[in-house]
Amino acid sequence: MASDKEIIEQTKSYVRQELEGESSGHDWWHIHRVYNNALAIARAEKANETVVSLAALLHDIADYKLHDGDCDIGPKVARVWLERQGMDEPRITYICKIIKDMSFKGAETASPMDTIEGKIVQDADRLDAIGAIGIARAFAVGSYMGREIYNPDVKPTMHKSFDEYKASKSSSINHFHEKLLLLKDRMNTKTAKKMADERHAFMLRFLEQFHKEWGGR
């Protein structure tokens, strides 16, 4: 049976092959950044590095946004892969639960994680949704999903349910108010909270400049 280290390396190769070149911001390099941040946070927080590594690597192997809103497909694909690697059932179930539960579900809908490993992977994913990279990814996914860049006649909505959030067709600029600017205060770990501050401030500066230019200044 493969060792944990071998499974992690095989998983890196598998995910890279599946997601390299993807254009919605959920590509291999997103996974690479989330994995690196998750592992750094796991070491600081003294969490299980194998679980964190595999959940981070597989968290977007089949993202619901790219599969007709199917929130079960990601954990299913991850489970099939981990079973093929011979990983034990308890850890497979644990990793798949993290993948299933970690997504943002709306401004007024909680998405709590009940374990330190889940909190870490969720934090690492959210860190990649904010700051300069988060801005780039917001417009990449907005274009992929057919969203306008901005429409001043359409105001942000604080979605009350995951279904309402998933069905939203709001602009990419509204997405900052509906999700991205909320993430700093939803980080779980002390390590991620510190990392989020600068990225959050950068988004605020970007939005200020965007609206200045929109107004012809």
pLDDT band at 145 (very low <50, low <70, confident <90, very high): confident
Q: What is the pTM of this model?
A: 0.91
What average pLDDT does the chain have?
90
Q: Is the pLDDT of residue 69 over 60?
A: no
Fill in the amino acid letter for 71.
C
Task: List, in order, residues 6 or more apart from 125 with CB less than 8 Å away.
Answer: 34, 56, 59, 102
Query: What's the pLDDT tens digit per position in 49-63?
Result: 999 999 999 999 977
Q: Which CATH architecture has domain 4-214?
A: Orthogonal Bundle (1.10)
* Sign of the torsion angle spanned by Cα atoms 207, 210, 214, 216: positive
Domain ranges of the chain: 4-214
